[in-house]
Structure 1
């Protein structure tokens, strides 16, 4: 049946939904790349909350989605920005998410790494009234929760540290302290301001070359404590240059949701592993693609993954930080959750034409296990917005 999808300008155009999904089956973990999907959280739609309330999470549906990712061989990057850290998911809920997901990972044998930050330190009307020592202590509190759960830690970028640091030396001091005390090697996450404007000037400079030098100096001083780095700057060449400068044994996990196929494939001087938000909706397809790399078939890898870039660029278009809305829409349409509700009310963060285009692109890729269900739910969403069937 034809759907009439809204487009910018107040009109609609016809779209014929796909009738058959792409055939993708679960499989074993990968051998050529380490691949994490940064997973979203499922809100509790029956909770009586406001955007300012503590997060209300549907734990059963949230953990079921993680089991779905693990079944396809993907690792789960937990409590990251895709899970709405700092955009609806407060630290109390994030700590519970880390504990529950780590226990579930242990039960099913899944790979997991969890975000460690400082979001228990809230901004006030005058900004972040904290010392560098208080920021460091906040990191330590979260690192302890992560390590006690048995998960690998991902040291996330801190809004509070970015606000209170006087220069590169404060970043070096805080990260050096955390790396020295970490029980196991960690992943360092450099999240660019396109994902969070409050992180402008991270590593002590708005000059990316100077910031990169500080970042590399921190790694060089503690190479045995750094499993890898996740780079989310949406600059493919900068990531390539950076990964070529890493010490032996330190992985580069691409966080570039615009250029991931070529970065994961790599070149004759190396490649990136992956820790990506787009691998939430693309999980099974991405897993199938990486298995082609495992056999040495880079052409088949690209043939599967290159067509997904248009969807990813659409979901991550400016303002990039609202990509989570499209991710959760696709999870609902795919049947991974029973509703399109997000913590913090973030389901309202994208326009109907944006959501309609996300549906069209995902449907065209065959991402929906039940295309008829996706079509029916998209019709329901359109009717809520007053689009005639």
Structure 2
């Protein structure tokens, strides 16, 4: 009964929102990232975002995807410039390589067009610096999308850590993010071509899955940078991934806290678990509708916490994007914000340097 009531409440909130929503015009830059399926899954189901076109230089790929989803060829544009000129979007979602994120920002920022990219934000610190200058000059929103941002469990972790204090002081967070490998799980050739390239993606598993923990930890630390970053990587499958790592572990040290980020392309199935160890309790958060909370050693000192649905604007990337563009949400230091994801790029850059040199990398104070 409780689940039914919560579902009805969420539906009422969505219905109420949609009545008053003003759709924002959104263009799509690139179609080589398999996460683009979330665009097709969203189209026509809600009224807060209108997808006005797709910019993709590979016409064969674009036509194949548009046809698969019964969309007209007229939605395709060979360049982002052409899409912007003809469709005048208010925001652009990037579904190309991480290296190409910079060019999307360079095209959109001078025109006052907001940008949201798939994780992580940038391929290295040099690209990040150029993005930062554009964001500051043209005052656009530059956001980053992670699947884990829309987990109700992470919102509950924040509440328990920051508001109710059920967890006490956070002492360690262990992130477990991985799967069997992008080729093994059947990702498209267009996707894996750049995902397994050290320049286009910036690394292998250390970037693809290491970014999740870096994002959530930076958020939990209110945007604070770690004191140091230590990382090790391996190539367990060099015949499959000859150019990049497929196994990585990153350790972040803070004044009174540690984070251990486990990133893998070698696991038997997909995992995205966040284990938070506080002085008063432990929680294990993931995409499930319940979250395990342990607050003592006795068998009765453990329970499963039911998770309330997220607010409509926080429930998915497109609702969130519309709310930001319309001024209903100010990103500040939330999971998608430029402030938090700038630190994520710095952490990943330090982790790659640490793995390469075998040394701990210290952040300057």
Q: Give the alignment's TM-score, normalised by structure 1.
A: 0.27
Q: Which has the higher strand share?
A: 2
Q: Which has the higher helix share?
A: 1
